[in-house]
Amino acid sequence: MIPRLEDMTLGQRIGLTLLIVLVILFALAFCGWITGGWDQAEGQTGEQLYGDMPLDAVLIRLDKHALDQAYENRIMRLWEVWISPTTRDASSFSNGLKIARQRYTEAAAAIGRRERQLIELEQRHQDQRK
């Protein structure tokens, strides 16, 4: 038999609350996994970056170059902050580096997908001409 809430100690109430929250989180995660929502979310970054912009080979090349420069600039700023005499905690540097690398990887993947789309489109045009 389950005791009434008023009869539980504070520790038991906290434990019960945590258990309920964890059960709900796992249920939501399971629903997301079953419905394939996690797989859909992976490809959305590139779609968000480019939206419905038309494919352009020159702009893809410029995007690659700009991404490399932006990453280099970000890393240079991180290092400048890290080597300053007032910085003592490496966690901010590590977090900034992790985020910069993650975003670079996401953007590079989006650019790569656009590049593949352009190549496939050009191949279709060549096949139609034959």
Placement of tokens 């079953």 in the chain? 34
Q: Domain check: are 102 and 64 in the same one?
A: yes
d(Cα 4, Cα 60) in Å, to the nearest integer?
64
What is the residue range of 34's domain? 1-42
8 A C-beta contact, residue 70 and residue 10: no
Encode pLDDT of 85-128 as tens digits: 887 888 888 999 999 999 999 999 999 999 999 999 999 988 88
Summarize pLDDT for 2-19 with one digit per residue, the tens: 788 888 899 999 999 999
> pTM value?
0.61
Residues 73 and 54 in one domain: yes
| 74 and 112 both lie in a single domain | yes
Give the dihedral of Cα atoms 117, 118, 121, 127; nearest 10 deg.
-120
With 70 as the cut, is the pLDDT of residue 43 above it? Answer: no
Cα separation, 114 vs 57, whole angstroms: 9
Task: Determine the average pLDDT of the residues in 59-81.
Answer: 95
Tell me the C-alpha distance between 64 and 105, whole Å: 12
Residue 20 half-sphere exposure toward CB, CA atoms < 13 A: 6
Q: Are residues 15 and 73 in the same domain?
A: no
- The distance from CA 113 to its chain's CA centroid, rounded to whole angstroms, is 16
